Amino acid sequence: MGTGLQVLLAGTVVFTLVVLLLALAVLGARRVFAPSGVAVVRINGRRVARGPLGSRLLSLLMDNGVYLPAACGGRGACGQCRVEVVGDAPPWTAVEAAHLTAREVSAGVRLACMLVLREDLQITVPEALLGARRWACQVQSSRCITTLMKEIVLRLPTGEQMAFEAGSYVLVEAPPHRVRFADFDIDAAYRPYWQRLGLLELASITAEPALRAYSLANPPAEGTELVLTVRIALPPPDTPPETAPGQVSSWLFSLVAGDSVLVSGPFGAFRASDSDREMVLIGGGAGIAPMRSIILDQLEHRCTGRRISFWYGARNLRELCYRTQFDALAARHGNFRWHAALSEPEPGSAWQGPVGFIHDVVRERFLGALPAPEDLEYYVCGPPLMNVAVIQMLEDLGVDRDGIYLDDFGEPT
């Protein structure tokens, strides 16, 4: 019995030592792979930002009041949050490889959303970006404009005005939240659709803040307000039942007048050129936002004489927004016309316009008959598949890529 007890005790001691050694190894690995301490980032040789080692550069910069463009919300999908690292740059990631050329990598260019800080860093960014600001806005109004889209009007602090170009976007910060779709204020005309699809049973629950880019739908002359068109991001079809809806769009849908919203900006290079060439705007879904901003700015404020046509694709009449406003603009301005096409008009609807995908309608009813469609300028913003189809159609017609301006945010969140 004594010998057996000694063996048991020895085994216990060995097991305890192994556990302690493994724990020490884990702690050591954490020190290596998730270092503690403060990272110091010098920006353009004159500005300093500080934050925890192990954090991502994009988040650290935002916490220090430096706002980089990130249309995808920092998920590595848009490739816009570029910085140039001075000196030795960390190894690039597979995500960066999809956005950066070998020449850019050798020059030290990195995506701030992918760069994890292991040590102090020196970076350079375009000076213009240092002018972006963070704004504490208040919801002035929120209303449904289609079945799945809301127009949310934000009011800037009293006396403040955002100087932006038509076509710009802002980053919206959604805090940790728990919101139920059943609590959303959905118009009576659209609520049966939500009930039929079981959308009122969904919820958005997150313990982490999230970012998302939204184009401004109002012209710069109305810079004391920010108008967003927000489409609720639903779980894709054929995904598991537990798949969550988009965090930022869900949170925005829950807001009511008086609620606070943090935004940063303005950002983006999607804007009308200074040429006199005819403008052809092609959009779909929430992509109507920058189109509306550009059209209102050109017609109502710049009083341009350029010919402008706007082609918008929607699924059915319930998804067609701002129809009355665009009709009024066409009546007031002889150089503007607009056309809508429905891809799936509902049986019995009063729709008498074009039926089909918008890229096909534009080609069949307009561009296909032009002798030189490459002489026009094209502005494209819509769902990813629409963007691809439109660009392919334009290239098939001989339009050079530098004559196509694309505003692409990827999938909504």
Residues paired with residue 337 on neighbouring β-strands, in sequence order: 309
pLDDT tens digits for range 68-106: 888 787 888 888 899 999 988 778 888 998 888 888 888
Position 375 scores a pLDDT of: 96
Average pLDDT over every residue of 267-291: 95
Q: Is the pLDDT of residue 18 over 60?
A: no
392 CB-near residues (< 8 Å, 6+ apart): 359
Q: Is the pLDDT of residue 367 over 50?
A: yes
Position 179 scores a pLDDT of: 96
25 CB-near residues (< 8 Å, 6+ apart): none
Position 219 scores a pLDDT of: 98
| 284, 383 contact by CB (below 8 A) | yes
pLDDT band for 413, please (50, 70, 90 cuts). Answer: low
pLDDT tens digits for range 205-253: 999 888 899 999 999 999 899 999 999 999 888 788 788 999 999 999 9
56-70, 89-103, 121-135, 153-167: range with highest mean pLDDT: 153-167
Domains of the chain: 38-129 (3.10.20.30), 132-267 (2.40.30.10), 279-406 (3.40.50.80)
What's the token pair of residue 398? 């001989």
Using the structure block, give the residue that is written with the tokens 């954490």: 30
Mean pLDDT of the chain: 89
Better pLDDT: 91 or 142 = 142
| H-assigned helices in 163-284 | 191-196, 247-253
310 CB-near residues (< 8 Å, 6+ apart): 281, 283, 291, 295, 326, 336, 337, 338, 339
What's the token pair of residue 408? 């692409």
Q: Is the pLDDT of residue 35 over 90?
A: no
